[in-house]
Amino acid sequence: MIKKQPYMNFGAACLFLIFSLLFFVLILRYFSIQITGEVNGQNLVAKAQQKYSRQGVLEAKRGDILDRNGGVIAEDTASYKMVAILDKKATTNPKDPKNVVDPEMTAQKLSQYINMSEEDIYKRLTKKGAFQVEFGQAGSNIDPSTKDKIDKLKLPGITFVRDTKRFYPNGIFASHVVGYTDRVEQKDGTHQTVGKMGIEKSLNSELTGKDGKINYESDLWGYLLPDKKEKITPAKNGNDVYLTIDQKIQTFVEDAMNNVANEYKPKKIIAIVADPKTGEILAMGQRPSFNPETKQGITDSWHNEAIENSFEPGSTMKIFTLSAALQENVLNLNDTYTSGSYKVTDNAPVIHDWNTSGWGNITYLEGVQRSSNVAFAKIANEKLGFDKFRQYLSKFGFDKPTGIDLPNEASGKILFQYPIEKATTAFGQGTAITPIQQVQAATAVANDGKMMKPHVVDKIVDHDTGKIIEQKEPEVAGTPISAETAKKVRDVLETVVTSPKGTGYSHYQIDGYSVAGKTGTAQIPGPNGAYLTGPSDYVFSFLGMAPKDDPKLIVYVAVQQPQIDNYEKGAIPVSEIFKPVMKNSLQYLNIQPSTQKTAAVSKLPNLSGKSVSDAEKSLKDKGFDTVVLGNGQKIVAQLPKAGTSTLDGEKVIIQTDGDIPAPDFTGWSLRDVMKVANMAGLKITSNGSGYVASQNIKAGAILRNGDNLIVDLKPPEDLWNQAAQAQDQNANTNNGANGSNGSNGNDGSNGSESNGDKPKNQ
């Protein structure tokens, strides 16, 4: 034992030296780090700050989109993403676990609140090696109410990350005007809401706010350390945008379009409501449309058809040809022309009226009412001159975009090289324009010559302070016609709706309000360039304004290819949008109905013994429609009887001595037919309802007491079509000659055409 001692002392000395050296190195390293604060060239203070100092993003709220009255159309709302923490290291206190401890129970409870099966949730909660898991689409965009319900379950490890989503409370509502947003990943890995259509796109920079930030010191898990202060840079929320859209009027439009879409299943519908005094768009919609929140239906229609698509307008274009001619004082509406067909030049194709044969020699006023293509080709060529007409196309803004505050606006395409193109443009064929261009041009007619630039933005407001940043003001886009001309045009367009000869008769009249407007029936070019020829292959439209004397609203409606069996029924779906939208909107705006003119009431004088000529003159002076029954010279009876209070305009039957030839009852009301039957002692039988379409006793045949008179009655539109067909046959028989009596003797007063402005291929 004594011999080993030296070796043990030597070993202990070596160990002492080694540990002393290590201790010296450690002390040296310690003081070196203390003095320099660096390790391997890296600043330890900075590394510690980086590890425990955290920066959070204070996300800015995207600005709201509201209607003109402050109703919310689009806004940011809180949403949450659900996350499950699986790593046990997240738990520092076993009594308060921060990770999922019972996957089976957690999966069973979560499956009741998110759209994911219990089995799939369990698979995610038992994923090996994952610190945390998410739940895809099922765990995203969770609303606050659902989050609160899950929170109350107190499931360990289930937490939420706050997010926002764009909320559109009205669903499908002016969707192509408002647009939609997407969450787009940025270069730094963050996501930002970006507008992709409509106002969301065109005013994206105004709506987008600037994110703020928060700096703080935390522990390993990101929790704020005690007694540590936060440094906050507040977010700047996006600005709010108020639209000119009126939520109530837009709802009228949406409801009417839904009804027509469900019943007639058209390829497209376009509807616009505008204030002609300001150019404000009060409603704009289309079908098909989409839900901006869910994006359902977006693939069916990417474009705002009212501003991004130009097409042949059809006869609504005649409004502006008429306006130009009246402004230049080159058109006397009482002048006559021969309808049916017209050649601009000897070598040009023939222009036909919609019924091919026309209506004989008629006035230009009747040509407007009947929507005669020939009338407008002649007006453009012979009255205005094509050069002057072209100038007015520019004055009305058809050769450039309107500048409406929506993205991707298209411009019109005016074909004006050859004489035939110039002529067909006058009645809306060949040349293509957008619906919003038509509405802008129509404001000149409705607003006493001042054409107003359309706009959908009313004002931009600071979301946080309420201060108005930008207020849009009405802007005059031009003055193509005078106030006097505008009034004349409205007066003429009113007759399109009120005259039995008008193409708008029986479809666009609104009780209590005078409507001025024009129908349109435009053909659709097919893939090979030729026009489609199916019974419904048209764009049926109506451009109207009311009240006529001082229009408060312009409504444009176009319906493409509805499911109808005859193009003459095309006005029906159009009117089923126009009429309820116009009437409901006027009433909502508290536009009082026009004072109804009460027909004057007069007492009939005793005409017995008077001459026929004196009696007719006396009745005409009082405003009565006189029918002479018999071929004698003296009055022997009258209906209504002498002293009866009678409305002006009512038929008064006066019977003379002598034989009684049967009148032509076509177009008469049953009430007036019964007057003759009572006076002549006839037995009367009527079939159907409406106005007389045929009679069993020929006109001119002598009536005898006790004869049986049978009359067939039909609705006004059927009666009008019947008369038109008879005119066609008569014109063909006579080779188009001697057609001056295209309007028969009963003045066609009881019929109309569903839309009698069908253009033909040129």
Residues annotated as catalytic are 315
C-alpha 608/C-alpha 635 separation (Å) is 5
How many Cβ atoms sit within 10 Å of the Cβ of residue 557? 29
Helix axes 386-395, 318-327, angle to 10 degrees: 110
- C-alpha torsion 64→74→175→254, nearest 10: -120
Token code pair at residue 164: 């926002």
| Cβ atoms 177, 290 nearer than 8 A | no
From CA 20, how far away is CA 5, in angstroms rounded? 22
DSSP-assigned states of every residue in 184-238: EE-TTS-EEEEE-SHHHHHTHHHH--B-EEEEEEB-TTSPBPTTPPPEEE--BPP
Number of neighbours of residue 30 by Cβ within 10 angstroms: 10
Identify the H or E element spanning 439. Answer: helix 435-446
- Of 572, 565, 503, 573, nearest to 534 by C-alpha is 565
Angle between the N-to-C axes of helices 435-446 and 318-327, in degrees from 0 to 180, rounded to the nearest 10? 40
The three-point CA angle 515-520-524 to 5° equals 160
CB atoms within 10 A of CB 267: 15
Helix (H) or strand (E) holding 729: helix 716-733
d(CA 186, CA 369): 60
Distance set, CA 668 to CA 621, 623, 674, 713 (Å): 22, 18, 10, 9
Task: Write out the two tokens for 341.
Answer: 């067909």
Tell me the chain's radius of gyration from C-alpha atoms.
40
Q: What is the four-CA torsion angle of 72, 73, 75, 77, rounded to 10 degrees?
A: 80
**CA-CA distance, 355 to 429, in Å (whole number)?**
16
Cα separation, 84 vs 134, whole angstroms:
6
Q: How far is CA 179 from CA 68, 199, 282, 344, 405, in A?
A: 17, 6, 16, 46, 13
Residue 98 near residue 157, CB atoms below 8 Å: yes
CA atoms within a 13 Å half-sphere pointing along the CA-CB vector of 755: 33
Token pair 């199916």: residue: 534
- CB distance 272 to 493 below 8 Å: no
CA distances from 617 to 599, 613, 636, 675 (A): 20, 6, 17, 21
Q: Give the pairing of strands 691-695 and 708-714.
A: antiparallel
| Cα four-point dihedral sign 320, 321, 327, 331 | negative
Q: Which residues of 307-328 are buried (b: 16+ CB within 10 A; e: fewer)?
A: bbbbbbbbbbbbbbbbbbbbbb
CA 754/CA 505 separation, integer angstroms: 8
